[in-house]
Structure formats: structure tokens, C-alpha cells
Amino acid sequence: MDKRIGFIGLGIMGKPMARNLLKAGYPLTVYSRGRSAVEALMADGAAGARSSQEVAERSDVVITMVTDTAGVRQVILADKGALAGMRAGGVIIDMSTISPAATREVADVVQARGVHFLDAPVSGGEGGAIAGTLSIMVGGEVEVFGDCLPIFQALGKNIIHVGGTGTGQLTKLCNQIAVAVTNLAMGEALVFAAKSGVNLEKMHQAISGGAAGSWQLANLAPRIFRRDFAPGFMVKLQQKDLRLVLQEADRLRLALPATSLVHSLFNALETRGAGDEGTQALIKVLEQLAGVEVKA
């Protein structure tokens, strides 16, 4: 592989994504706030760095995968950030989920320095990151997207260039609306079945193959049955994304009643101290309202 890749942010999603770049044969330099994550990738064959700037100095393309908008600004634009180390003509790809408006602002600063920028958030959770089957929605210059396509192909399967800068983030927010509201619909179906005495596993099998089938029903319902609330995607990160949705909806003067409701229910879940659990934990709020437990 001719491009040297830098990867910043080795959390639940970033670590397996970085590993897939190594498997694809890319020379990789990594940095993360947690040194243990950097050392784990070094054991797999990556080079470790002590700052985002150092990553960029060793790379042609730098990928950022961090928690939120403030984190993206920090690792790209701050002192010792990636932009300080990028050569003109290099590429920064932000694969985090952040504010579309902030994305455009960061892109303007990056491009003014002669560096290309793509916003490329992902969907598919930890499982998709590990398997290299993520959906990747990319905004930015189409020529730069084409040049970076082999990199994206090491990380995902459904890779779509959706438009100009910021449209990747807007598309990801569409994704989060659909994901969160479907999670709520699934949860209501499960508590209805539990309360009415229907066999949960047989009900699940019966409806999964029809029009009600969804990723959430296939992947999250079995975990709920086992009372497994370990995160593939944390509640607090889902809430961060839903706040971005509702901020953008407010700017557009747009009513999103179902999204607003699920955001409120996740607030109730966070009040119970479940912010670090997986989003399937939404069922706990519905169970409390229904006076029933969804358990196989």
C-alpha cells in the first residue's frame, strides 16, 4: 500500500478499525489518549505516536475517530493537533459523528492550509468495526473520495459519497434517527409480548423474517433476552448524536416527535446511571413503565 495512514482515537470503534487497516497492509501510526490502546496496536504492528501532530508528520492520510465535536477540534486544530503536522496535499478524514456545522468550520480551516478534508461517519457498531463491514457515508471532494476509496474499503462494505462537506454528518444523523426510533419500536414490541404472555423467542423468530425485521431486532433483542447490556454503542453516545439531530432540527424549524420522545426516554435511562450501557438498555425504561421484564 502506497499511502501511510495515521489513526487518532482507539476506542470501541477506532481500535478494530485501525486493526483492519493493518490487515489490509497499510503502514499505520496511531495515537489515543489511553496509552494502553496505543501499545495494543503497536503489538499488532503499528507505530505509536505521542501526539496527533506526530501522527500527521508520519502520514499521508490521517483518520480521526473520537467522541464528540470538541474532541475533533482538539485533535485536528489544537496545538500539536493533526493539522500542525500535515503536509500540503495530505488528507484528513474525520470518521467521528459530530455537528455538521462544526464539520464545515473545521474543513474550512484545514483546506485553507492546503490539506484536503472528508467527513466520513460510520454505522454498524462495534461488530461492524471488527468485521470490516461498516456503512460509511462520505462528504467532501469527490476526487479525494475516489483517491481514498481503497482505505474505506478496508473498513466497510457500504461506502457512499453523499455530497459536499458536511453531508456525511447530515446523513449519519438521518441514520441515528432511524436507529433510535427503531430501537424504541422494538422495545415496545418486546414489552407488549412479555406483558401479554407470548413466548418471547418464538415471537422474535416469527416477526424477524417479515416486514418488522430490522438490525435492532436481529442484533439487540437476543441480548435483551440474555439481559446483556454491554455496549456495542453506548447510551451516552447515542444521546450525543440525538442532541445533534435535535439541534439541527431546531435550526430547520423541523418537528421530529418520535426522535424527541426517544431522546427523552434515554434521558430517563441516563438518570438511572446507565449511560455507559449499550443502547439496548432502553428496554429498562419501557419495562419500568410496563411493570414487566423482557427475559428469555
CB 132 within 8 A of CB 22: no
C-alpha cell belonging to residue 151: 482505505
Query: Does residue 121 register a pLDDT over 80?
Result: yes
Q: What is the mean pLDDT of residues 166-191?
A: 98
Per-residue pLDDT band for 211 (boundaries 50, 70, 90) equals very high
Tens of pLDDT along 234-249? 999 999 999 999 999 9
Q: What is the mean pLDDT of residues 24-31?
A: 98
**Residues noted as catalytic:** 172
Tens of pLDDT along 40-69? 999 999 999 999 999 999 999 999 999 999
pLDDT score at 157: 97
Contacts 24+ apart (CB under 8 A), 252-259: 256/177, 258/181, 258/184, 259/177, 259/180, 259/181
pLDDT score at 296: 86
DSSP structural state of residue 89: T
Query: In angstroms, rounded to a whole number, what is the distance separating the alpha carbons of residues 260 and 267?
Result: 11
Question: What is the DSSP pairing of strand 91-94 with strand 47-48?
Answer: unpaired
C-alpha cell belonging to residue 186: 422494538
Q: What is the mean pLDDT of residues 142-155?
A: 98
> 128-141 as b/e, with b when 16 or more CB fall inside 10 Å?
bbbebebbbbbbbb
Per-residue pLDDT band for 1 (boundaries 50, 70, 90) equals low
Q: What Å distances lie between residue 51 and 48, 100, 248, CA to CA?
A: 9, 25, 32
CB atoms within 10 A of CB 295: 11
pLDDT score at 232: 86
CA quadruple 67, 69, 72, 74: dihedral sign: negative
Tens of pLDDT along 87-108? 999 999 999 999 999 999 999 9
C-alpha cell belonging to residue 88: 500540503
- Taken in order of first residue, the domains within the chain and their CATH numbers are 5-164 (3.40.50.720), 171-290 (1.10.1040.10)
